Amino acid sequence: MNAHLQKACQQLGLPNDHLAISIGSNWQPGRGESLNVRSPIDGQTLAEFKMADARQVEAVVKEATAAFVKWRTVPAPVRGEFVRQYGEKLREFKQSLATLVSWEAGKITQEALGEVQEMIDICDFAVGLSRQLYGKTIASERPSHRLTEQWHPLGPIGVISAFNFPVAVWAWNAAIAWVCGDPVIWKPSEKTPLTAIACQTLFSQVLADNPEVPPAISSLIVGGADVGQSLATSPKLPLISATGSVPMGRAVAQNVAARLGRSLLELGGNNGMIVAPSADLDLAIRSITFSAVGTCGQRCTSLRRAIVHESIADKLRDQLLGVYEKLPIGDPTSDGTLVGPLVDERAFDSMESALAAAKSQGGIVHGGGRMTSNVPQGGFYVRPALVEIASDAPIIQQETFAPILYFMRYRSLDEAIGIHNCVPQGLASAILTNDVREAELFCSAAGSDCGIANVNIGTSGAEIGGAFGGEKETGGGRESGSDSWKLYMRRATNTINYSTDLPLAQGIRFEV
């Protein structure tokens, strides 16, 4: 194992032998299939251990349910104090956790640090929120009555997360859920279990300083899709928050809906950007490059479609290709690298087949292909691709989780918005323009149909303060900031009569 990684694991207090299940600080072995955790950097095995199987889920749910009974009565600001301490722990171990994120998910150092910073930010947000779980007081139509609403803890939450944000997505859910009074059971991606084990280890450390906190407010189950489904079908989990591909979301949503549970879905994106004639081209180059090739095109918000006005398209394409040629691609832990590896061979194969499909549909492919020199051997390093293609080519409808940018041309803004909205996904979108009318139209009800609509910045790199999520096949969920917390609570409407009369609503008379 690489010396930096080994040091980071030691600092985080990670054991050499990994166990798949943790309830608070109680670790237990999995009884499922063997898992070989490989680094995208060079394909080396980082760990091997047995995953949990679906039959082990019930015991974890039982403990979380018992913890909920206690945790829900702890005042929210006191719950917030626990989250504050967890945020402090993350500050202390930011560098080590980021090193683990780089080795397990292949992120460049800056993005790995940014991911841990996002965890810290959401903890800060949640601490403030713990004193702001406001309900409304509503004007009652009856005399001497008070109509009000309260927000109560919901219950234990199941969190299923994807490989590409191995720790931030859990933190978005966990920090908010904890202040809302909900225990969290986390099933991370099988590709990134070590970062999850590290987060749970840090949780145990904070727990040790807070003996009054029920340990099972945080549990971890490293397992496969069967474990995810077991969480989805459990009637004891009122909310399942699932981040990943559209097929995964469909499977989870059906099972949660069958038991009339609540699901929060954060699924695939197919994010577009309109580049208008008035756009600042320098800014366009920088924002397109970061959004399209950052994280090697493996963000749910990665830019996949540039819809460029025909008057500037050739110039922008040529400049972009010039930048693409010089991109520092390679070991994500080396200084200066901007593009790391794809997560694995399967991701590489889907990039290859998308590019082949694009070609067969009339696309002109620039770039693409595997790099083998000046990169660590054993990883899947690729040249990002820019594909000039017609806006009605079927391939542009699909999300390929790799750095492929489809480059299309438009004549009128109406046409551009039509092209933009013609895909089944609806996560992030952007317009680059200096024309205020175009910008406002894009953000209006008649503009972008996405959950995120930006002006003069790219599609990726959201802040935690806003509600994050998307429409259509992206699943409709919202997490992180704004009022996303409401999904993690149940609302009780209270009508209180402080008179001796019993007036009925709507003026109904019912004399007995």
296 annotated active-site:
no
Distance in Å, CB of 361 to ligand NAD, minimum = 21
Does position 225 interact with ligand NAD (CB under 6 A)? The reply is: yes
Does position 399 interact with ligand NAD (CB under 6 A)? The reply is: yes
Does position 248 interact with ligand NAD (CB under 6 A)? The reply is: yes
300 annotated active-site:
yes
Does position 419 interact with ligand NAD (CB under 6 A)? The reply is: no
Which member of 123, 180, 296, 300 is catalytic? 300
Neighbours of 4 (CB within 10 A): 14
Does position 484 interact with ligand NAD (CB under 6 A)? The reply is: no
Cβ nearer to ligand NAD, comparing 201 with 302 = 302
Mark the segment that binds ligand NAD (CB under 6 A) among 111-119, 163-171, 200-208, 495-503.
163-171
Mark the segment that binds ligand NAD (CB under 6 A) among 178-186, 238-246, 354-362, 482-490.
238-246
Contact 303, 288 (CB under 8 A): yes
C-alpha 241 chain-centroid distance: 10
Does position 162 interact with ligand NAD (CB under 6 A)? The reply is: yes
How is residue 110 written in tokens?
Answer: 């800056």
Cβ nearer to ligand NAD, comparing 35 with 408 = 35
**Local structure of 507: helix, strand or coil:** helix
CA separation, residue 450 to residues 400, 443, 471, 477, 486 (Å): 18, 9, 6, 12, 21
Q: What are the phi and psi torsion angles at 254 (to 5°)?
A: -65, -40
- Per-position DSSP letters for 55-100, written without gaps between them: GGHHHHHHHHHHHHHHHTTS-HHHHHHHHHHHHHHHHHTHHHHHHH
Cβ nearer to ligand NAD, comparing 124 with 226 = 226
Contact 227, 245 (CB under 8 A): no
Cβ nearer to ligand NAD, comparing 185 with 252 = 252
Local structure of residue 52 (DSSP, 8 states)? P
Which member of 111, 115, 266, 399 is catalytic? 266
Q: Is 258 exposed, middle or buried (0-12, 13-18, 19+ CB in 10 A)?
A: exposed
d(CA 261, CA 255): 9
Cβ nearer to ligand NAD, comparing 89 with 478 = 478
Mark the segment that binds ligand NAD (CB under 6 A) among 44-52, 55-63, 162-170, 281-289.
162-170
Distance in Å, CB of 300 to ligand NAD, minimum = 3
**Local structure of 120: helix, strand or coil:** helix
Contact 118, 212 (CB under 8 A): no
Does position 186 interact with ligand NAD (CB under 6 A)? The reply is: no
**Local structure of 270: helix, strand or coil:** coil
Cβ nearer to ligand NAD, comparing 170 with 410 = 170
Interface residue with ligand NAD among 165, 186, 348, 406 (CB under 6 A) is: 165
Look up residue 173 and give its amino acid: N
Does position 187 interact with ligand NAD (CB under 6 A)? The reply is: yes
What is the enclosing helix (H) or strand (E) of 45? strand 45-50
Look up residue 110 and give its amino acid: Q
Q: Which of residues 260-289 bind ligand NAD (CB under 6 A)?
A: 266-269
Contact 469, 446 (CB under 8 A): no
Does position 241 interact with ligand NAD (CB under 6 A)? The reply is: no
Distance in Å, CB of 223 to ligand NAD, minimum = 8
Positions marked active-site = 266, 300
Chain residues binding ligand NAD by CB under 6 A are 160-165, 187, 189-190, 224-225, 228-229, 243-245, 248, 251-252, 266-269, 300, 399, 401, 427, 474
